[in-house]
Chains A and B, each alone.
Chain A
Amino acid sequence: MTIDWWTLGLQAINVLILMWLLSRVFWRPVAAAISKRKDAVKAMLDAAKETQAKADAALAQVAAARDGITKERDTILSSAKCEADAATKAALSEAREKAEKIFAAEKASLARDTDTARIETTKQAAELSTEIAAKLLQRLSTSSIQEAFVSRLIKAITNMPESDRAALAQTTDGIDLVSASDIKAADKAKITTSVQKALGSTPTITFVTDTDLIAGMEIRTSHFVLHNSWQSDLAEILKELNNAAQ
């Protein structure tokens, strides 16, 4: 067995050339492609991480903003609720005060109206009752009533103060005796005697008829009137009723 050194050397050179050529046309291009892809993938991953970090930051910012909005909303709602409660209370208080004022005013107005109506009604009732009484008393105008009024007249003259009676007795113009109906002559004389006796003098007495008196006998002079009739009584009653109503 011998070794061909030429062949050994040639084969070594051949393999060296092969290694050099393969390094240039195969190993380096493929390794460069792998490295390029790794770099591209790394760049994409870095970009993705950066994007993710930005997204996380944006998400955190949105979450913080959302929390802030929630707190602000709660604050606004709470504030609005307090304001609404205060406004409601104020409105209720104001409305209550207004209602109370209106109620008081209406109550006062109603009381006034009621009083006015009551007074008016009382007046009307008094007037109506006096009218009814007058009409009823007109039917009772009899001689006995006339005599009763003459007696009341004599009594009234007797009860007059002395000065007034003396002034009445000394009148020169004469005295009018007013009655609701015509008086018979005999009765006139009798009445004249009784009056003069009560006065203690003999003034001139003239009999006058006034149907408005309803019934009664009154003394009238130019300066003096002695009421003694149902008309005057009813007028007095009506006056008292009106005063009582007010």
Chain B
Amino acid sequence: MTSPLESLVLFYLGPVPITLAVVTTWGIMIILITGAFLLTRQLDLTATKRQAALELLVDTIDNQIRETSGAEPAPYRGFIGSLFLFILIANWSSLVPGIEPPTAQLETDAALATLVFLSVIWFGIRGSGVRGYLRSFAAPNPVMIPLNMIESVTRAFSMFVRLFGNVMSGVFVIGIVASLAGLLVPIPLMALDLLTGLVQAYIFAVLAMVFITSAVEDGAHHSKHKPPHSPN
């Protein structure tokens, strides 16, 4: 068993090393996009059970975004929903024998946290403008600017560490138990890992939405030239 902190390089594309996590991510992407394409081919006014399940998923995510941000979910649905689905499938991919979840690798979680960090900036500027977004760092007073700037980095860092720690620890524990106690003993831990993967995906998506909402609302609140509004 290799260290979970090391990436297994499968091959190189020029100078770019292609790790197992990247390949697994490609696999997950293919599965998600193909599945989404197949599932959404024949959407109609009269919903089938399949369409009703898809609409239930989308509606649930929309409600979650609406309850968290208070704004219309359309601008955030693609980012937050895709983030949730990818992390969920990536976490649950550990149940497939021989597959190591991409989220158990530092680089994947760091990439996700980086995307959240950048999306907070993007949605903040989109909602309040550059001045409004920058002014949000001076809340409640300019003294807090350094702390707010550090906070914007550390909270993304905490998200990445939380996700990595939980998923990596689950995989690591299951690996150790499986190597010590045989085939059937890790099953309860794998079931627990299912719950952990779902909860972590939910936490990551909700926290991303909270951070985005905070940036949008703070920017709108402190903007002198623009009235507060939701980004639509």
Contact = CB atoms under 8 A, between A and B. Distances in A.
Interface stretch (A7-15, A89-97, A146-154): A7-15
B59 interface: yes
B86 interface: yes
B105 A21 contact: no
B25 A14 contact: yes
Interface of A is mostly: helix
A8 B79 CA distance: 18
B82 A8 contact: no
B85 interface: yes
A25 B77 contact: no
B78 to A, nearest CB: 4
Contact of B40 (A3, A16, A18, A30): A30
Contact of B111 (A9, A20, A22, A34): A9
A76 B114 CA distance: 89
Chain B interface size, under 10 / 10 to 19 / 20 to 34 / 35 or more: 35 or more
A6 B40 CA distance: 34
A19 B106 CA distance: 20
A136 interface: no
B11 interface: no
Contacts of B29: 14, 17-18, 21
A7 B21 contact: yes
Interface string B9-46: 00000011111011001100100110011011001110
A27 interface: yes
Contacts of A185: none
A228 to B, nearest CB: 144
Nearest to A17: B29
Contact of A40 (B17, B45, B107, B108): B45
Given A11-B21, A23-B78, A3 B33 contact: no
A28 B82 CA distance: 12
Contacts, number: 119
B32 A3 contact: no
Nearest to A8: B107
Contact of B37 (A23, A25, A28): A25
Given A30-B55, A34-B59, A7 B115 contact: no
B81 interface: yes
A7 B107 contact: yes
B43 A12 contact: no
Given A12-B115, A15-B115, A22-B82, A33 B51 contact: yes
Interface of B is mostly: helix
Given A22-B36, A22-B82, A26-B36, A31 B7 contact: no
Given A10-B22, A29-B43, A15 B86 contact: yes
B5 interface: yes
Interface string B61-99: 010000000000010011101110110000000000000
A18 B33 contact: yes
Contacts of B25: 11, 14-15
Given A1-B5, A34-B58, A37-B45, 18 more contacts: A3-B106, A4-B7, A4-B19, A5-B107, A7-B21, A8-B110, A8-B111, A12-B112, A12-B114, A14-B22, A15-B25, A21-B29, A23-B82, A27-B81, A30-B40, A31-B62, A33-B51, A37-B55
18 contacts: A7-B107, A10-B16, A10-B18, A11-B22, A11-B25, A12-B115, A15-B25, A15-B83, A18-B32, A20-B78, A22-B36, A22-B85, A26-B36, A27-B58, A27-B82, A29-B43, A37-B55, A40-B45
Interface of A: 1, 3-12, 14-23, 25-34, 36-37, 40
Interface of B: 5, 7, 15-19, 21-22, 25-26, 29, 32-33, 36-37, 39-40, 43-45, 47, 51, 54-55, 57-59, 62, 74, 77-79, 81-83, 85-86, 102, 105-108, 110-112, 114-115
